[in-house]
Amino acid sequence: MKKRPGNAIVAIIVGVVALIFFAFAIVYYTYSLLPNMAKSIGEALFGGSSATAQAAVMKPVDCGTTTKIQVPELYLPVIKQAAKRYLGGDEAALIAVISVEAPRFDRTAISGTGAVGLGQFVVPKGPQGAQSLSKFYFQGLPIVRVPRANPPKVTTSEKQAFRDNYPNEGRLQYSPSIFASAHLLGNAVKKYNGDVGKAYAEGYNGSTAIQSNGKMEKENASERVVKIYNSLNTDGGCKALQDTPGKLGEDLRKAANVAF
């Protein structure tokens, strides 16, 4: 008995509709259910609503017992990854440098010279400088020079205007800035045979400004870095990082759309 052509057409139509429905289901799952599930997981971990979760991960936690360096919990998995990748896991060195460069781990910190963010990076000059910046995780992110109405210092109002006008500026983002800092410091530590103080002073900071006590700015800053670094090591490292899940934790926070 021959099949009717109409039956074949109906079967094709049903198959096409089924494929469309299946594709729609995949898209819906990917862009709706999965993020919502991640948010639910994030809320379960940090407690309460999404807003509560955001407040929880931005809450500063103490690193060490004598140093009292406070780091936002959201930054911990990034610090852990960056230190593992570029500093052989030396989280204390990275924490010490950032705590001096951006006190209170303020990702919106802007210096009087126009350096921006946790790593205090300036806009590089010349093609070599531009290339060096491109290696530091800022690819695809806007980099804008901070204006100076009264050279060489950037005024308080200029700093705030920069934050308001360029909220997505690459150096204001915590993750690329932390990795950039670890990359730069890691190269310097290798160059100076593991000496964190000298690596920071010569390879990271590089400033030659003379301060009131007769020392160069980089020498004073280096002493602060070494003091914090030694204190953290004496305390056994940053206690909060011991229970931080690393990449899994960062991916979860991103999936949960937790603001920084």
Q: What interhelical angle do 174-191 and 91-101 show, nearest 10? A: 110
Q: Which fold has domain 59-255?
A: Lysozyme (1.10.530)
Given this model, what pLDDT does residue 213 score?
59
Q: How many residues are listed for the chain in this entry? A: 260
- What the block records as the tokens of 76 is 């911990």
Let me know: does 195 contact 189? Beta carbons within 8 Å. yes
* 245 strand-pairing partners: none
Residue type, 23: A
Given this model, what pLDDT does residue 260 score?
41
The H or E element spanning position 92 is helix 91-101
Query: How many CA atoms does the CB half-sphere of 242 hold within 13 Å?
Result: 9
Split the chain (260 residues) into runs of 10 and give each run's mean pLDDT.
60 69 57 50 51 68 80 90 93 94 93 91 70 75 86 89 94 92 92 91 70 67 90 85 69 52
DSSP three-state, residue 119? coil
Locate the domains of the chain by residue range: 5-46, 59-255
Given this model, what pLDDT does residue 162 score?
95
Q: From 65, 47, 67, select the one nearest 57 (Cα to Cα).
A: 47
Given this model, what pLDDT does residue 206 score?
66
The H or E element spanning position 63 is strand 60-63
pTM score, whole prediction: 0.72
* 116 strand-pairing partners: 110, 121
Given this model, what pLDDT does residue 73 score?
86
